[in-house]
C-alpha cells in the first residue's frame, strides 16, 4: 500500500515537472511557459502576445492554445457564439412571424369610410326630431350599455371574438380580433377591431355637435368619457384591455375630427396588403336613428 502511494506521488510530481507535448512546441504546466519560442510573431495591439514564451498571454483561464501557435480567447469566443446564437434565434423567430403571431385581419379602410359616409348621409337626411332623438339617446346612461345600440356590426362582432367574414381572411393567433386600416392613404396598420368600431361613436358625436353647435353634451370629451365607461365594463366581459381602450379613443377622434390613429397600431402584427375586405357598407346601429 505504501509503495503504491509513493508511486502515485512520484507520478504526479513528474506530471508537473516534465514538459507536456504540444503539436507545435513543448509546454511546462508547472511554470506556465513554453520551453521553446513561439513561431507566432504576435500582435502590436496585444503586447503580451509578443512574448515568445508566455502561454495564452499569461491568462490560461480565459485562453487556450491547442496547437501551440496562436491562442484562442475563450471569453470572446463564448461572446461571439452567444451573439451568433442570438442572431440565429432572431432569424428563426423573424421568419415565421405569421406562424408565431398569427395572421392579421382584413383591410377595412374602404368599407369603414363608406359606412361612416352612410351614417352621415342617413343622419343629415333625417327629420330634425329624429336627429334630436338619436343624438340625445347617446348620452343617456341607461341606453348606452345596451348591446349593439351604436356599433358597426361586423367590427363589433369580431371585437367580441365572433367569426364573421368581412370578405377577407380573418385574423388568427395573436392577430385574432384585428383588422387593418390606412388613414387617408397612409401606411397600412393593424388595430383591434373592437377599437376601430369606435370610429362610428366619434362620427355620431361629430354629427350631433354640428347639428347642436352650442350644446356641450356632444363635445369630444363627453364622447371619450362615455366610451371609457363602456370599455371599462367591456374589459371584464369580452377581454378588452387598457391598450384597446386607448385605441378606441384614437378612433373616436378619427371619427370626430379626422385625426390619424396610427399611434396606437399594433407593432407586433405585420400588415398584409393582400388581405382586403369587401368594399361595402357594413351594417351599423344607432339607437333612435335606425
**107 and 243 part of one domain:** yes
Residue 93 lies in a domain: no
Which pLDDT score is estimated for 226?
85
**56 and 196 part of one domain:** no
**162 and 249 part of one domain:** yes
Which residue's C-alpha cell is 480565459?
62
Residue 227 lies in a domain: yes
What is the tally of structural domains in the chain? 2
**44 and 152 part of one domain:** no
Domain span at residue 213 reads: 100-286
Which pLDDT score is estimated for 78?
45
**114 and 194 part of one domain:** yes
Q: Which of 25, 59, 75 is the last residue of a domain?
A: 75
Distance, in Å, from the CA atom of 200 to the CA atom of 206, rounded to the nearest integer, reads 10
What are the residue ranges of helices labelled H in the chain?
2-17, 74-94, 97-101, 109-125, 128-138, 141-144, 153-159, 193-196, 199-211, 220-237, 242-257
Beta carbons of 255 and 119 less than 8 angstroms apart: no
**26 and 170 part of one domain:** no
**134 and 61 part of one domain:** no
Distance, in Å, from the CA atom of 188 to the CA atom of 186, rounded to the nearest integer, reads 6
* 37: enclosing H helix or E strand: none
Mean pLDDT by 10 residues, the chain (290 residues): 48 44 58 66 62 65 57 48 42 42 87 97 96 89 65 90 86 91 94 94 96 95 84 52 82 96 93 93 90
**249 and 178 part of one domain:** yes
**174 and 70 part of one domain:** no
- Of 125, 270, 70, 120, the closest CA to residue 190 belongs to 270
Report strand pairing: 33-34 vs 20-21: unpaired
Which pLDDT score is estimated for 259?
96
**57 and 113 part of one domain:** no
Residue 159 lies in a domain: yes
Which pLDDT score is estimated for 59?
64
Residue 92 lies in a domain: no
**130 and 258 part of one domain:** yes
Distance, in Å, from the CA atom of 171 to the CA atom of 277, rounded to the nearest integer, reads 12
* 176: enclosing H helix or E strand: none
Residue 86 lies in a domain: no
- Of 240, 283, 254, the closest CA to residue 152 belongs to 283
Residue 6 lies in a domain: yes
Q: Is the pTM of this model over 0.85?
A: no
Residue 193 lies in a domain: yes
Distance, in Å, from the CA atom of 272 to the CA atom of 268, rounded to the nearest integer, reads 13
Residue 47 lies in a domain: yes
**65 and 192 part of one domain:** no
Which pLDDT score is estimated for 213?
95
Distance, in Å, from the CA atom of 175 to the CA atom of 177, rounded to the nearest integer, reads 6
Q: Which of 59, 75, 91 is the last residue of a domain?
A: 75
Amino acid at each position: 500500500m505504501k509503495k503504491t502511494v509513493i508511486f502515485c506521488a512520484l507520478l504526479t510530481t513528474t506530471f508537473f515537472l516534465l514538459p507536456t507535448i504540444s503539436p507545435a512546441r513543448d509546454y511546462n504546466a508547472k511554470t506556465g511557459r513554453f520551453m521553446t519560442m513561439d513561431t507566432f510573431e504576435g500582435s502590436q495591439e496585444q503586447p503580451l502576445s509578443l512574448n515568445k514564451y508566455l502561454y495564452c498571454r499569461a491568462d490560461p483561464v480565459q485562453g487556450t492554445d491547442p496547437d501551440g501557435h496562436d491562442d484562442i480567447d475563450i471569453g470572446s469566443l463564448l461572446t461571439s457564439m452567444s451573439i451568433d446564437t442570438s442572431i440565429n434565434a432572431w432569424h428563426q423567430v423573424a421568419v415565421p412571424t405569421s406562424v408565431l403571431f398569427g395572421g392579421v385581419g382584413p383591410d377595412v379602410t374602404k368599407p369603414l369610410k363608406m359606412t361612416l359616409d352612410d351614417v352621415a348621409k342617413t343622419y343629415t337626411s333625417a327629420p330634425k326630431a329624429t336627429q334630436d332623438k338619436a343624438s340625445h339617446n347617446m348620452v343617456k346612461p341607461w341606453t348606452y350599455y345596451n348591446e349593439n345600440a351604436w356599433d358597426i356590426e361586423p367590427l363589433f362582432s369580431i371585437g367580441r371574438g365572433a367569426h364573421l367574414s368581412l370578405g377577407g381572411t380573418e385574423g388568427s393567433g395573436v392577430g385574432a380580433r384585428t383588422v387593418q386600416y390606412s388613414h387617408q392613404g397612409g401606411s397600412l396598420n393593424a388595430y383591434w377591431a373592437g377599437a376601430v368600431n369606435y370610429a362610428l361613436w366619434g362620427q355620431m358625436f361629430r354629427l350631433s355637435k354640428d347639428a347642436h353647435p352650442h350644446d356641450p353634451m356632444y363635445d369630444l370629451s363627453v364622447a371619450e368619457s362615455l366610451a371609457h365607461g363602456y370599455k371599462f365594463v367591456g374589459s371584464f366581459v369580452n377581454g378588452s384591455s387598457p391598450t384597446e381602450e386607448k385605441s378606441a379613443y384614437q378612433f373616436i377622434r378619427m371619427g370626430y375630427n379626422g385625426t390619424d390613429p396610427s399611434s396606437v397600431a399594433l407593432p407586433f402584427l405585420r400588415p398584409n396588403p393582400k388581405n382586403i375586405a369587401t368594399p361595402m357598407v357594413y351594417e351599423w346601429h344607432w339607437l333612435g336613428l335606425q
